[in-house]
A = this chain, B = another copy of it.
């Protein structure tokens, strides 16, 4: 006959007191063995360590956090997990933080500022010691909660004109400007661009900033903005690029150069051109952004603008662990990780 009470109860995990009892020391000594082993006599330490192993003791960090007022969490809010460059930021950051025994608490908002705010609220309940989020545009409530959190805040992937606090990124406007100048210098006559639309809380605001930089430079060069096309909503990907260039070509068959806010769209452009018999780069030159791996592999290989997102993540981690988390009075820092044009074969007529 089964005992429902016993069988439905889960075995309790061992606590620090179980370890102390087994090793015949106080629970404080156990705590020291874990956090400051050199302050414990070697013999005692060994005994405690054995007890820890034999019980399979794992300290409860919720209890530790409560007591020490240090959660060991760093919160990260990304637009999406499903983007190689954001994933790589998370990797770089996570690697650096791990070394200092911090744990990354990752959330994503699907390019929705309202979701960003509600994710932040969830994360705040875990008392992160720092908050990292993609920069520039937020709801007022987000900004206010960030300030009230009283922990370092780092905006990434853009360099806001008026950052909340720290920023590690690059100028998305400059990305667009560089792309436009690149086309203008090479004498293209009908220069276009493709991106997505931002509506209210939803959209890729950094992508849109790239598009605005592109437009600003076209304007400065006395060019028309008619071929700059905002199509669909974020996130963009291969299909987006294919659809958008399809529309653009249908309406303006004379377009001879196009900048896509992401390599993913740019690859879609190249694929759609293959299907339509439009030759890249002879009929249409294409430039992307983000230097995704697929851009290196397609034919022709994609000319793009590269940002070292892995280093970006690492920089954020280093700035946090070396400065912002150590001294809460450090000055707000804006760090530019830079850009690099990668010239491959999707743009006609390289200038020497």
Select one of B8, B80, B104 contacting A329, CB under 8 A: B8
Closest to A149 in B: B13
Contact B82 A239 (CB under 8 A): no
- CB contacts (< 8 Å) of A44 on chain B: these are none
Contact A267 B297 (CB under 8 A): yes
- CB contacts (< 8 Å) of A271 on chain B: these are 297-299
- CB contacts (< 8 Å) of A108 on chain B: these are 91
Number of interface residues of A (CB under 8 A): 58
- CB contacts (< 8 Å) of A91 on chain B: these are 81-82, 108
Select one of B71, B81, B103, B150 contacting A90, CB under 8 A: B81
A82-B91, A150-B11, A328-B8 as given contacts; A294 in contact with B275, CB under 8 Å: no
> What does the 1/0 interface line of A80-121 toward B look like (CB < 8 Å)?
111010011011000000000001111010000000000001
Closest to A81 in B: B87
Which stretch, A54-62, A158-166, A178-186, touches the partner chain B?
A: A54-62
Contact A148 B56 (CB under 8 A): yes
Contacts of A48-90 to chain B: CB distance below 8 A: 56, 58-63, 65-66, 71, 80-82, 84, 87-88, 90
Select one of B82, B103, B122, B298 contacting A87, CB under 8 A: B82
Contact A56 B145 (CB under 8 A): yes
Select one of B90, B105, B294 contacting A267, CB under 8 A: B294
Select one of B81, B124, B144, B299 contacting A81, CB under 8 A: B81
A145–B274 Cα distance when bound, in Å, is 53
Contacts of A246-289 to chain B: CB distance below 8 A: 267-268, 271, 274-275
Contact A297 B126 (CB under 8 A): no
Contact A62 B126 (CB under 8 A): yes
- CB contacts (< 8 Å) of A242 on chain B: these are 297
A56-B148, A105-B105 as given contacts; A239 in contact with B63, CB under 8 Å: no
Q: Is the C-beta of A10 less than 8 angstroms from some C-beta in chain B?
A: yes
A58–B128 Cα distance when bound, in Å, is 12
- CB contacts (< 8 Å) of A315 on chain B: these are none
Tell me the A residues contacting B by CB distance below 8 Å. Answer: 7-8, 10-11, 13, 56, 58-63, 65-66, 71, 80-82, 84, 87-88, 90-91, 103-106, 108, 121-122, 124-127, 144-145, 148-151, 237-239, 242, 267-268, 271, 274-275, 293-294, 296-299, 327-329
Q: Which 9 A-B pairs have the closest CB atoms?
A: A82-B87, A238-B297, A81-B87, A61-B125, A62-B62, A62-B65, A271-B297, A10-B150, A58-B124
